[in-house]
Amino acid sequence: MIANHLLTWITFIPLLGMLAILLAPATQKALIRGLAVVATAIPLGLSLYLWLTWGAVNGGSAQLQYVERVPWIQAGNFLVQYFVGVDGLSMPLVALTCLLMFIGVFASWNIERGMKGYFALLLLLEVGINGTFVSLDIFLFYVFWEVMLLPMYFLIGIWGGPRKEYAAIKFFLYTLAGSVLMLVAIVALYLITGTFAIASYTEGGQNMPGLLELARTKQITGANLVAGGVLMGVSFQDWMFWFFFIAFAIKVPIFPFHTWLPDAHVEAPTPISVILAGILLKLGGYGMFRIGFPIAPESFEKFRTLLAVLGTINIVYGAYVAMGQTDFKKLVAYSSVSHMGYVLLGAAAMTDWGVKGAVLQMFNHGTSSAMLFLIVGVIYDRAHHRELNGFGGLVTQMPYYGGLTTLGFFAALGLPGLAGFISEALTLLGSFKTYPTLTVISCLGVVMTAAFLLFAFQRVFQGPLNPKYAKLPDISGREVFCQAPFAFLCVLFGVLPTLILDILNPAVKQFLLLFPA
């Protein structure tokens, strides 16, 4: 029974946990924490099962797995389905979400004020994220997509830093502005095609083409909605492409839309930063791969050079701004902007390696950035500030912490042997064929990333020990426990990338097939 509804369980067990937490008395702190651990541990276990049996179950095919499809809303022609399933693109991200949420609960151990609400919102967030990853119905996708916003607003706004209110509403407004555009595009898509299904399915022996299938066969022109499929001199496909792209670009975030990210990161409490960088940003990238690009393949073809330029700007600009930061967390935030640029660059390149690198980069950035934010959290908990210049020589005082930080930094800057290297190298190699100049410029970003990370390391850990922090205790067991899985994954996928590439391969091939050559 569990295997038949695996994705439903993964998605909705946190919701049950949330309800249980809401019913628990606020004074029973241990009970609430315990419930949160259980409600995140079960999906983690299930997603591990999903991952470990993946090859055995699907035997390397690109088919969607664990598909569930039941009508949700049915009235006349209006049919919204509860249609979920995973393929190689979404499955690793689901697993990553479950892991990050599980760790997020432990990273939130110190939260005392309103902890009942905190854990309830955290679990609701997990429902939204996992739901978005597994949705194969665009209406369902949108609902889950928006469900994420509310808990995020409160998690930043209530438990955040001094400018939390500004950061929270900015995050909310930016994302909502994007999703409103997406909504208009979804409405238009529905009116053109009459279906919400993203993937094709069979109903009563009859093949019902999904949106992607219709897009591939050039049936989404918009000619039945606006005359000739052209609106204000711009083709309907282009409108839709940009509406989706902006919605997802804000989430990634892509260069002109990125300004909410540093604010949100700096103000959010550590576990929320971890989740924000680790998964929420991936939703933007995932949305592009799942819907944004293949829904308008010709527009994508037309504009992909522009997207590659945007990706390059992200890589270089993010790294450049990060170099100038003295706030540890802001530095890591901008490094995220830089790293997510690879996703766009690799996707725009449209080569097997480029796309594979981009997808892998999403996963690897999920682990390495989560680790970096946890590292920042450790020092912030002890010193109560994040000023890079205010530290020094900590490596002698906190050797274990220093060691883990080294690993995290090296993973982030793409040292061979660690995960980040594989994905960045794949992306750059893949895009070199298509955009040699841009790739060369992007390599500059790699150098800059190395520079600002090593420089930051030097300022915090080397040099003379700042006497103010001579008594800082080293990293605690709980903190090590939080970081260890990410460190392990960074090393594992750095050494044995095939473990994950075998999963991605068929999905990427399938993705490339969605675009007429």
The residues of the shown chain that bind another protein, judged by CB under 8 A, are 73-76, 78, 113-114, 142-143, 146-147, 149-150, 153-154, 157-158, 164-165, 168-169, 172-173, 176-177, 180-181, 183-184, 187-188, 190-191, 225-226, 231
Whole-number minimum distance, CB 212 to another protein, in Å?
A: 21
Q: Choose between 172 and 201: whose C-beta lies nearer to another protein.
A: 172
Whole-number minimum distance, CB 181 to another protein, in Å?
A: 7
Which are the contacts of 447, defined by CB distance < 8 A and separation ≥ 6? none
Report the sign of the C-alpha dihedral through residues 390, 166, 339, 483, in that order. Answer: positive
Whole-number minimum distance, CB 273 to another protein, in Å?
A: 18
471 burial (CB, 10 Å; 0-12 / 13-18 / 19+) is: exposed
Whole-number minimum distance, CB 178 to another protein, in Å?
A: 9
State how far the Cα of 205 lies from the Cα of 359, in Å rounded to an integer. Answer: 34
Four-point Cα dihedral 151, 153, 159, 165, nearest 10: -160
Q: Is the peptide bond before 253 cis (omega within 30 degrees of 0)?
A: yes
State how far the Cα of 465 lies from the Cα of 471, in Å rounded to an integer. Answer: 11
Q: Decide: 261 and 152 in contact? Cβ < 8 Å.
A: no
Q: Choose between 76 and 467: whose C-beta lies nearer to another protein.
A: 76
Instruction: Please provide the DSSP assignment of 229-274 as one string.
Output: GEETTEEHHHHHHHHHHHHHHHHTT-GGGTTHHHHHHHHS-HHHHH
Q: Choose between 58 and 108: whose C-beta lies nearer to another protein.
A: 108
Whole-number minimum distance, CB 106 to another protein, in Å?
A: 25
Whole-number minimum distance, CB 201 to another protein, in Å?
A: 20
Whole-number minimum distance, CB 116 to another protein, in Å?
A: 9
Q: Choose between 158 and 441: whose C-beta lies nearer to another protein.
A: 158
378: tokens are: 């450790």
182: tokens are: 């997406």
Q: Choose between 250 and 343: whose C-beta lies nearer to another protein.
A: 250
Q: Choose between 146 and 352: whose C-beta lies nearer to another protein.
A: 146
120: tokens are: 């309830």
Q: Choose between 246 and 358: whose C-beta lies nearer to another protein.
A: 246
Whole-number minimum distance, CB 40 to another protein, in Å?
A: 21
Q: Choose between 269 and 354: whose C-beta lies nearer to another protein.
A: 269
Could you tell me which of 365, 360, 155, 177 has the C-alpha nearest to residue 265? 155
State how far the Cα of 74 lies from the Cα of 19, in Å rounded to an integer. Answer: 27
Considering all CA atoms of the chain, what is the largest pairwise distance in Å, rounded to the nearest integer?
75
The residue behind tokens 């997510």 is: 340
User: 83: which strand partners?
Assistant: 69
Whole-number minimum distance, CB 239 to another protein, in Å?
A: 8
Q: Choose between 71 and 416: whose C-beta lies nearer to another protein.
A: 71
